[in-house]
Structure formats: structure tokens, C-alpha cells
Amino acid sequence: MGYNVRMSAEPTSPFQQHVAAMLAALDPDPAREGLRDTPRRVEKAFQHYTAGYAQDARKVIGDALFEAETDEMVVVKDIELYSLCEHHLAPFFGKAHVAYIPQKRIVGLSKIARVVDVFSRRLQVQERLTAQVAQALEEVLQPKGVGVVVEANHLCMMMRGVEKQNSKTVTSCLLGSFRSDERTRSEFLSLVRGG
């Protein structure tokens, strides 16, 4: 005995209607089973990919601020990030390396990774993402300095256009003592490189 289960193919939101129109323009059989529920799935996925718009870095950090017991550099390396290039809606992904030198406050380490997520879960360019993470931490912590380096692979360069599979983009934002003090900057960059 066979079952003929058909999922709803009718888009229920403007977003889903636009995805359905895109599928109709791209695929000769947009009503086939594999694409039938794609507009709903794509909408749900993009809500997740861009969840950072609904988040505020200050609120994400919340009350995870503590009195500084050190004025030495704090570095969190290899924070995974996933974002969407605002030019092609193609993913870019990689790692963020974040450091700061406390002045009066330190922050729970997991909150640094959450701040990276707040800004990466938006339509982005890597340069802006890097600066936003650094500026948010500077605003909330008011440290002596902040350094952020982001290394990422961009599918818009790998799958289309120049199609360079091994290219990596590196961006940095250095604020406070990371910008003004060459020794601080060198120490941070050495730690990021694994030295």
C-alpha cells in the first residue's frame, strides 16, 4: 500500500513567495518533490543566518563583566564564524582572533565568541564585521586596547568569479594600545600566528 503525502507547495509569506519565484526562474521543474518545501526551509535558514540583527552586543554580554584582576593581554583565538556576503548572499566562514587589555573590567570568555556571532549573523562584508566586533568590545569593556583579526574563505570567490579555492582574506582592527604601541601589536599578532 503506497502513501501519497504531499507537502504544501503554497508559499505563505512574502519571503517564501520570492524564493518560489527564484526557483521558478532557475529550475525547469520547480514543483518537483525536492523543491516543494524549499521556500519555507530557505526562509527558516535565513532567519537563522541573520539572527544577529535582533541581537545587541551589550545585552549579549549582559552582567558577565567582572572587576579586572589583571592588566595583561587576554586573547581568545580560533572563534569559528559563519556569515553571508552582502554582495552575493554567498557564505563566508573562518576564524576570529580577539584580544583586549583590561583596564577596569574583564568579560566572561564565552561572551567574546557571542559578540562575534552577533555581527557575523548578518549580511556582511568582512572588513565591517572585524571593526564591529572591536568597536563593541571597546564600548562595553573600555579596555586599554582591543585587537581583532578575522581570517575567512569566501564562497563568492571560490565558487564563482575568479574561482580561487585556496585564497583567504585577512582583516584586522586595532584600537587603543594595539594601535599606538608597537610592542602590544607585535605580541598580539605573534600570538595569533601561534608564536
Q: What is the pLDDT of residues 63-107, one digit of tens each?
A: 999 998 889 999 999 999 999 999 999 999 999 999 999 999 999
Q: Active site residue: 33, 47, 80, 87, which one?
A: 87
pLDDT tens string 137-181: 999 999 999 999 999 999 998 988 888 888 999 999 999 999 999
Known active-site residue 88: yes
Known active-site residue 18: no
104 and 163 in contact (C-beta within 8 Å)? no
Known active-site residue 48: no
Known active-site residue 97: no
13 and 41 in contact (C-beta within 8 Å)? no
- Average pLDDT value for residue range 25-42: 95
pLDDT tens string 98-117: 999 999 999 999 999 999 99
- Average pLDDT value for residue range 2-15: 64
The pLDDT of residue 4 = 39
Q: Active site residue: 16, 124, 126, 132, which one?
A: 126
Amino acid present at 55? Q
Q: Active site residue: 10, 33, 80, 86, which one?
A: 86
Known active-site residue 86: yes
Q: Residue 79 burial (CB < 10 Å; 0-12/13-18/19+)?
A: buried
The pLDDT of residue 1 = 40
Q: Active site residue: 16, 154, 173, 187, which one?
A: 154
